[in-house]
Structure 1
Amino acid sequence: MTTSAPPLAADLVVADATLGGDIQSRKEQIALGAFIVVPFLAVLAAVPIAWGGWLSWTDLAIMAAMYWLTGHGITIGYHRLFTHKSFKPNRFVKNTLAILGSMAIQGPVVRWVADHRKHHKFSDRDGDPHSPWKYGTSLRALWKGFWHAHMMWLFDEEQTPQRKYAPDLMSDPDIVRISRGFFGFVLVSLLLPAVLGGLITWSWQGALTAFFWGSLVRVSLLHHVTWSINSICHTIGDRPFVSRDKSANVWWLAIPSMGESWHNLHHADPTCARHGVMRGQVDTSARVIWALEKVGWVHDVRWPVRDRIQSKLVVNQA
């Protein structure tokens, strides 16, 4: 009689980290729809509510701070660190970025990374989860593809296999715990602005308006800016670098996207920690990584190399 060897610790983590299956349930689709529609309705109501006096400097400060923190959790954490390994952080920075990214309410970190790695593998080809060119190049097909890339792909029943595209994260106990605690961080993200607004103003009205602006409006704005990288930045814009897809730079999205809209360079050199590599290209995500490196909290940062960047310019191709 033979006995099998006991599973390794890493194997146990992987077996315990099925953070949502490979098929999206109806219940998950309904929850996803709610997290998209409700904040968007708040954006539609924002102008009359602000006009009516239900907007204060406290609300704006809370909304801006939450947008900055959770947005950089996506751009620096989910994207440049966990997806592309653009730098190596200490454990505190790693976990903090994973938590802040979770608070952006764009899905658990393992799921997000798996989707994005698959996007890079098949960018603007069959297999890409969110290419705006999915249905063809006619105006009608592109319009349909644009909305697919922007948000409708999120409702696809077939999900990206996490074990295939993010095995490294599924063997990291810290990241597994944070991914599995995603809905807890969603609650923190939604309730924290209200708590801060109530404490600062010492009023229920302050808590309510801070929730409206710092939670609902902030989440919707960040959602649509992030999704615009998939839709707008793969449809229109400048393409100074050689890439095998239709990724493009869109300058007017640079500040709200925290540097992510310098998307053409990103697809030309995915592991580069800075996306805005040309003069005048604002990239706050790269600046934060630079500051973290200066204080010794991250290392082995993959900064752009001048010769490598020059070799990828379209004008320098033979």
Structure 2
Amino acid sequence: MVFSDGALSIGELAERAGVTVKTVRFYSDRGLLPEASRSSGGHRRYGPEALERLRLIRSLRTLDLPVPEVGRVLDHPEGMPDALESAIDGQLRRLGSQLTALRWREAALQLVRECPAGKRAERLRLVGAVSTPPSTAPMARFWRGALPFRLSPRLVSSILEYAVPQPPADPTPAQVLSFARLHAIATAPCPAGDPRRPAGNRTDVVHRPDVLYDGLFDAYVLAAPDLKANRTPARGQALDRFVAAHAESRGLRDGPGFRRRLSGLLTRAADPLVDRYWELTGELSGSSDPTLGAAHAWLRSALDTDVAAATAVEPGDPMSR
């Protein structure tokens, strides 16, 4: 029905817009489609502008924008382009997250389907513990617990950037498995020897952690070309910077005695769990660049080789002076 003043009944508005009366009532009840008035019998009446507004609502909903977002766009007609762009950006982010979750589920299903029957229970347990889309929060907590509490936010942020791998948006089954294993390491119970235990519980206290980690980063950068070239760990500028970082952070000086003590200390502190973490990080990234863990392991080996060579020199040998 069209009233004499040009107002439309709810049925007429629904028919012209190609929707149901129930749909018009839904948008009206949520404030998206204001009524012009009510008839004497209490029936809803809409102004001529309601038809165009309803068509706009339908267009926005076709883009799957949530009703609250549609309301925000309609409430700012003077800033419609900005409000609409913001709403679309938000929807694109949500869709991206949903697509990533679907891709991870697909790869996880392929992983379970393709693995030997005897390993399916383990694979199901691993992938079932990971949210979709996957979260890196457990890995970040793992490393925050492992780092000295006095380390500056700048260095914590830098270390997390390297140590917390970002899950690929379109993973392979192998990458899903690597991420699930990383997640399992990061969320495992914390035994006495776990690196996540507070630094204050360790016997070797670093007095200036920023000095140590700044120096370690320098050493890792210097060692990277040797790792990429697959060179055998050996003495050189990278190792000297590595040892100097440890010495300076403790207020000590580099020398044969310090290198022997440091070699023993690093051997005792070595943790297969952390070594495995770095291996999985490399598998997940698929990058040819060495991880911090790989650089650290190379420098540890270089130090052990250097200490062994120095120990082999007899006291009377001119090289020992």
User: Structure 2 length normalisation: TM-score?
Assistant: 0.26
Largest Rg, 1 or 2: 2
| Structure (1/2) with the larger helix percentage | 2
Higher relative contact order (CA 8 A, sep 6+): 1
